[in-house]
């Protein structure tokens, strides 16, 4: 939770600006590819041209804004996967320690040959 700063403006869903996650050559490539695809779509015409125009517009918007929602989703999933991998490795390390402790505890145990199911202790 953020600390409440009285001088910090309150952001509403309509005013919030998503963080930029497309930078450098990737952003330049989106701009160039968007312009190229829109030009091809305008020249081609028809349904395929309209699809090219739409994809070009999306790429151009990605380059202009510097934000890609798909990339944000992929990065979030990658972070979740990394966190899950870390938890699995931690559980594996803990299991190894438990196994070593169990082996150490049973290594010094001796077996008397007394089966408590067949010959239970008297007086309990």
What is the pTM (predicted TM-score) of this model? 0.53
3-state secondary structure of 51: helix
Residue-range domain boundaries for the chain:
24-95
3-state secondary structure of 39: helix
15-33: pLDDT as tens digits:
566 678 888 899 999 999 9
Q: Percent helix, strand, coil in the chain (nearest 5)?
A: 65, 0, 35
Which pLDDT belongs to residue 45? 86
35-66: pLDDT as tens digits:
999 999 999 889 999 999 999 999 999 999 88
Structure token pair of residue 61: 């918007």
Which pLDDT belongs to residue 115? 65
Element (H, E) at 114: none
């Amino acid at each position: 939770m953020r600390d409440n700063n009285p001088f910090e403006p309150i952001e509403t869903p309509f005013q919030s600006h998503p963080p930029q996650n497309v930078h450098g050559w990737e952003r330049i490539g989106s701009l160039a590819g968007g312009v190229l695809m829109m030009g091809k779509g305008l020249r081609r015409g028809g349904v395929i041209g309209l699809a090219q125009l739409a994809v070009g517009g999306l790429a151009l918007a990605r380059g202009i804004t510097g934000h890609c929602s798909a990339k944000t989703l992929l990065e979030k999933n990658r972070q979740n996967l990394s966190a899950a991998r870390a938890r699995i490795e931690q559980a594996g390390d803990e299991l190894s320690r438990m196994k070593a402790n169990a082996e150490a505890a049973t290594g010094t145990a001796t077996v008397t040959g007394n089966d408590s199911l067949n010959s239970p202790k008297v007086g309990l």
